Amino acid sequence: MNPPDQPEAGEGERLQKVLARAGIGSRRACEEMISAGRVLVNGQPVELGRRVDPANDRIDVDGVPVATRPGLVYYLINKPAGVVTTSADPQGRPTVVELVPGEPRVFPVGRLDAATEGLLLLTNDGELSFRLTHPSFGVEKEYLAHVEGHPKDGVVRLLRRGVELDDGPTAPARVSLAGADVLRITIHEGRNRQVRRMAEAVGHPVRRLVRTRIGPLRVGTLKPGEWRTLTQDEVRALERATASNPGSSRLARRASRQPAPPRVRS
């Protein structure tokens, strides 16, 4: 009798076929990975010939979860100022979901406030969305903050160490001058309007804020309002960037049914 989490013989799809379709490698290469013990299904090592249910089984390669559920899509957009990061807006303002195809339904990964521009991901992959936004995974977000005044080296050092906000001190950040009045700030926390509050706390309120990077992904040459589909390699890069907290995998699977509306992160 097969274990409860393993499909009966003839049910499901062969594991190597599922992995190849997810962009892990050729079917032969995936067979070699399975034989070498590099693939886990629901946390357990498997043998060649294993069949899986892509919609329900968790598959990891080299400790990194693989998105195998059918119908998953991933969009990268350059959000313009004035567009809100919601699925619908009671005030009738334009929303980010109106910038991408309507089907399948997708959700923003984290939020940028209406005035903030730049890189935003939208997907129907709830588990990856959870991993990208939950602070325990520490995924970096990089911003260019055009500020009032001309920050000096002492301000940069203070931001790097962390500044006191009304909800507690910020974690150390990567900060550098990208221009006389432009700060490049990289954080991994994700508090409400954090970058704006950090800049204001050191006496340099933000005039314009642009997010340029999430983990390994950069906004690139996309113009405001433009979008593109992520490549399989880019999806895998995001999966690797969020594989550092395996203890949260149970919570991530619970979140995978549908991404919850996240808090404002800029």
> Superfamily assignment of 13-66 in CATH?
RNA-binding S4 domain (3.10.290.10)
User: Residue 2 pLDDT more than 80?
Assistant: no
Q: What is the second-level CATH architecture of the domain 74-137+217-255?
A: 2-Layer Sandwich (3.30)
Q: Kindly list the catalytic residues.
A: 113
pLDDT in tens, 141-186: 999 999 999 999 999 999 999 999 999 999 999 999 999 999 999 9
Q: Which pLDDT score, from 0 to 100, does residue 248 have?
A: 46
Q: Give 123's strand partners.
A: 74, 107
Domain(s) of CATH 3.10.290.10: residues in the chain? 13-66
- Give the Cα separation of 163 and 198 in Å (integer): 7
Domain(s) of CATH 3.30.70.580: residues in the chain? 74-137+217-255
CB atoms within 10 A of CB 67: 20
- Cα–Cα separations (whole angstroms), residue 193 to 1, 13, 142, 263: 54, 45, 14, 9
Token pair in block for residue 17: 């076929």
DSSP string, 161-181: H--EETTEEPPP-EEEEEETT
- Give the Cα separation of 202 and 56 in Å (integer): 48
Q: Are strands 117-123 and 206-214 parallel, antiparallel or unpaired?
A: parallel
- Express as a percent the part of the chain with pLDDT over 90: 58
pLDDT in tens, 41-90: 988 999 998 999 888 888 888 888 887 778 899 999 999 999 999 888 88
- Give the Cα separation of 165 and 192 in Å (integer): 11
Residue 102 CB partners (closer than 8 Å, separation 6+): none
What's the CATH number of domain 141-214, 3.30.70.1560, 3.20.20.140, 3.40.47.10, 3.40.640.10?
A: 3.30.70.1560
- Express as a percent the part of the chain with pLDDT over 70: 88
- Give the Cα separation of 69 and 215 in Å (integer): 23
Q: Which pLDDT score, from 0 to 100, does residue 251 have?
A: 47
Please check whether residue 38 is in contact with residue 62, taking contact to mean a CB–CB distance below 8 angstroms.
Answer: yes
Please check whether residue 224 is in contact with residue 79, taking contact to mean a CB–CB distance below 8 angstroms.
Answer: yes
pLDDT in tens, 125-139: 988 998 898 888 889
Domain(s) of CATH 3.30.70.1560: residues in the chain? 141-214
Distance, CA of 66 to chain centre: 14
Token pair in block for residue 64: 């990194």
Q: Give the pLDDT band (50/70/90) at residue 266.
A: low
- Cα–Cα separations (whole angstroms), residue 2 to 14, 132, 184: 15, 35, 54
Please check whether residue 51 is in contact with residue 11, taking contact to mean a CB–CB distance below 8 angstroms.
Answer: yes
| pTM of structure | 0.80
- Residue at token pair 């706390």: 201
Residue at 155: amino acid letter: V
Distance, CA of 217 to chain centre: 9
Please check whether residue 214 is in contact with residue 235, taking contact to mean a CB–CB distance below 8 angstroms.
Answer: no
